[in-house]
Amino acid sequence: MCGILGYTGNRQAAPILLDGLAKLEYRGYDSAGLAVADGEEVRIEKAKGRLSVLSERIEGGKTLAGTCGIGHTRWATHGEPSDTNAHPLWSDDKAVIAIHNGIIENYRELKEELTGKGYSFYSQTDTEVAVKLIDLYYKEDNGNPLSALTRAMRRIRGSYCFVILFRDHPDEVWGVRKDNPLIAGQGKGESFLTSDVSAILQDTRQVYYLDNMQIARLRGGEIRLFDQDGNPVTKELSEVTWDAQAAEKGGFDHFMMKEIHEQAKAVRDTIHSALREDGTVDLSSMKLTDEALRKVEQIYIIACGSAYHAGVVGQYVIEDLAKVPVRVELASEFRYRTLPLKGEGGLAIVISQSGETADTLAAMRLAREHGLRTLAIVNVVGSSIAREADNVFYTLAGPEIAVATTKAYSAQLAACYLLAIQLAKARGLLLDESGLLAELQALPRKIDDILDEKERIRQVAERFAQANDAFFLGRNIDYAVAMEGSLKMKEISYLHSEACAAGEMKHGPISLVEKGMLVVGILTQEALYKKTASNMLEVKSRGAWLMQVTHRGNDLLKEDADFTFYIPPTDPHFAASLAVIPLQLLGYYLAVARGVDVDKPRNLAKSVTVE
Ligand code: G6P
C-alpha cells in the first residue's frame, strides 16, 4: 500500500519520480505528491486524486527543478484523501520532509508528547507525527540524520517504511523500513529507493533489499546501509531478472487484459521451473526433499484474497492426491486464532503474490513461532515473506500491475499442483506421475485456446452491464473457482456478487434469486456434475439467467442454460486453471462495459501492507 520512490543523481528528479510513480500507482491512487530539493530550497507539490492530476499541475515535472527528490502515491489509512493529507509531510520549518507507507500504532501517544514540546499538527495523518518526531531528534542531535532516525525507530511502533529528505542535506535521500518493503537501486552516478522494483527497472537492475530495521542513505551513486543502532552494514547487490517491458501495457487497453494473456506463459514458466529434464518434479531448489515431504502430517495453507482462493483449490488437490489433511486459513483470521498448532509434522504453506501482505506475513511468523515449517509460494523475489520463510517456491508470473490478480493466481495454482504431485509421489501414493504431468504441461495451450473465444464472454458481459447482483455456484474445486470468479467480478466491476457452494443455496441465498439474475455455474468435476446441475435447475426455476462453464458432453443443462462456455478437457484436479479464465474475462468485460477503471478499482490496493 502506498507507492514510495526516492531519487538522487544528476538528472532532473521530478520527471523520473513521476514516471516511477506511474508504475507504483496500483499501490494506492487517492492522492500523490513530490518533494524536490534544489540547493537550499525544497519544493513540495501534492494533489488529491490520480497521479495525472499532480502531473498536469507540475507540467510533467518541468516546473520542479532539482536532482534529488521523493514521491508518493497514497492509499489513505489515517485521514481522508485530500491535498493536506497527501504525502510528503513536513516539519514546521521544512527541515524534515518525508513520505510513508504503513501504520504508526502509537501515533496518539507520540502526538501528545510532541504537542507538549510545542509541535502543532496541520494534517490528520500518523505520518506527520513521525516526521515531527524525527525533526525533534534531528534538532536535538545537531542536524544528524542518522542518529535522528535511529532514535525515532526506537520510539515508533507499527509497520512503516519512510523515505526522507533533510533540507540541510540537499543531495541525500534517506530511507528506513520495518515490515514494509524498501529497496535501494544502484544506478550509474544515481540511486533510487522504492517500494517495488518495477518503478526503477528501466534505470537499474542492481538492488539492495533492505532488511527490517535497516536504514539507507543515498547520495548520488553512493548507497550506504546501517542497522538500527547506526552501525554500517554490508550487503550483496542482487540482480533483478524481471523484464522492464513486462511493466508496460504492451498494446493492451489495460494491464489486467495484458496479464490475462500472459497466463499461459506464467503457468508454463512456473511448471518448468520445477521439472527436471527427464520430466519429473524437482523441488530441490526450494530445499524440499522427499524425506521432508513424507514427514508432513498436517498442512495449513494461509493467504489472503485471490491467493486464498488458490489455496482452496490447493486444499482439494493435495487432500485428494496426497491424502494429507489440509486446512485453508484466511491470514487475517489465522493470525489471531488460538489453534492447537502442530509443530513437528506440520507444514504451513503461505501463498502471496507480493510477499508483503501484512496479515500473511504475521500469520507466517506465528506459524514459525509454533514450530511449523513454512513454505512460501511467492511471486516477488526478495520480498519479506520470501526472505522469512524456511522454503520458497517462486511463481514465475513476472511483475503483475493490475490490482485484480490473474496471472499470479494462475501461477499459484500451478505451484500447488506440483506440490501435491510431489507430496503424493514421496508418500508412495502416486507410482506414475507422467500422466498428470503431461496434463499439467498442456494447460498453457488450453488457456490460450480459451482466450481465443473471449468475444463470446464480452457479449454476455454487455448484456449484464446494468445488473445489480450475481451468484457463482460450484462444488469442490468448482466452488473454489466460483469464489475467485465472484471476487474478480465484484472487485473490478462493482457488481455485487456472491460465491456459494452449490449445495448451500437452498439454505438461504436462494431467497435472493430474482427473475433475470445472472447465476454462473462451474461444472467441471464429473463426479459432482449431476448434483450441481440440479442446483442450477433450482435457481433456473426461480427465474435466474444461467451461464455454465463446463466440458463438452455435459448435456444435462443443454436446454436450460442461457449461455454455455466449454473449456477443453483436462484432469479434474487441474480444471480450476481453465475454468477461471472465462470468469476473469467476464469480470474484466463487465468492468469495461460499466465504465470502471479496470486496473485501479476504487478503495483497493494491490499490495496490502496494513492490517
Ligand atoms: C489484494 C489484491 C489481491 C490479492 C490479495 C493478496 O487484495 O488486490 O489481488 O490476492 O491482496 O495479496 P498477495 O500479494 O498476498 O497475494
- Is residue 611 included in any domain, yes or no? no
Mean pLDDT per 10-residue section of the chain, whose length is 611 residues: 92 95 81 92 91 90 93 85 90 95 92 96 93 97 96 94 96 94 95 93 94 96 97 94 74 92 97 90 88 94 98 98 96 87 87 94 94 95 93 94 94 98 96 95 97 95 92 97 97 94 90 92 95 93 94 91 96 98 97 90 75 74
Clarify whether residues 441 and 518 are in a common domain.
no
33 within 8 A of 42, measured Cβ to Cβ: no
Write the CATH number for 36: 3.60.20.10
Clarify whether residues 443 and 459 are in a common domain.
no
d(CA 130, CA 559): 64
For ligand 1, atom 4, the nearest C-alpha belongs to 305
d(CA 123, ligand 1 centre) in Å: 29
- Is residue 252 included in any domain, yes or no? no
| Distances, alpha carbon 557 to alpha carbons 93, 472, 537, 553, in Å | 71, 16, 8, 11
Clarify whether residues 227 and 319 are in a common domain.
no
Question: Which pLDDT does position 337 carry in this prediction?
Answer: 84
3-state secondary structure of 301: strand
Mutate to test the pocket of ligand 1, among 328, 405, 489 (most ligand atoms within 8 A of CB): 405
Catalytic choice (46, 48, 488, 606): 606
Question: Which pLDDT does position 508 carry in this prediction?
Answer: 86
Clarify whether residues 443 and 336 are in a common domain.
yes
Write the CATH number for 336: 3.40.50.10490
d(CA 244, ligand 1 centre) in Å: 22
Clarify whether residues 225 and 134 are in a common domain.
yes
Enumerate the H helices of 323-453 as residue ranges. Answer: 331-334, 358-369, 384-388, 407-426, 434-451
- Is residue 610 included in any domain, yes or no? no
Tell me the CA end-to-end span of the chain in Å, nearest whole number. Answer: 11
Active-site annotation holds for 558: no
- Which residues, judged by CB distance below 6 Å to any ligand atom, belong to the binding site of ligand 1? 304-307, 352-354, 357, 360, 403-405, 604, 606-608
d(CA 116, CA 548): 65
Clarify whether residues 74 and 94 are in a common domain.
yes
- Read off the amino acid at residue 244: A
Catalytic choice (2, 161, 304, 500): 2
d(CA 102, ligand 1 centre) in Å: 16
Q: Is 0.85 surpassed by the pTM of this model?
A: no
d(CA 194, ligand 1 centre) in Å: 19
Cell digits for 52?
495525472
Clarify whether residues 444 and 458 are in a common domain.
no
Of 443, 392, 416, the residue nearest 317 (C-alpha)? 416
For ligand 1, atom 2, the nearest C-alpha belongs to 606
For ligand 1, atom 8, the nearest C-alpha belongs to 606
Question: Which pLDDT does position 567 carry in this prediction?
Answer: 97
Active-site annotation holds for 2: yes
Question: Which pLDDT does position 79 carry in this prediction?
Answer: 80
- Is residue 608 included in any domain, yes or no? no
- Is residue 573 included in any domain, yes or no? yes
For ligand 1, atom 7, the nearest C-alpha belongs to 305
Question: Which pLDDT does position 77 carry in this prediction?
Answer: 78
Provide the residue range defining the domain that includes 89: 3-246
Clarify whether residues 200 and 278 are in a common domain.
no
Clarify whether residues 444 and 460 are in a common domain.
no
Question: Which pLDDT does position 606 carry in this prediction?
Answer: 73
Question: Which pLDDT does position 75 carry in this prediction?
Answer: 81
For ligand 1, atom 5, the nearest C-alpha belongs to 305
d(CA 251, ligand 1 centre) in Å: 25
Clarify whether residues 125 and 235 are in a common domain.
yes
- Is residue 15 included in any domain, yes or no? yes
Mutate to test the pocket of ligand 1, among 1, 353, 377 (most ligand atoms within 8 A of CB): 353
- Is residue 602 included in any domain, yes or no? no
Clarify whether residues 174 and 283 are in a common domain.
no
d(CA 255, ligand 1 centre) in Å: 16
Enumerate the H helices of 30-87 as residue ranges. Answer: 51-57
Question: Which pLDDT does position 443 carry in this prediction?
Answer: 98
Structural domain total, the chain: 3
Mutate to test the pocket of ligand 1, among 302, 306, 409 (most ligand atoms within 8 A of CB): 306
Clarify whether residues 507 and 589 are in a common domain.
yes
d(CA 362, CA 518): 38
- Is residue 604 included in any domain, yes or no? no
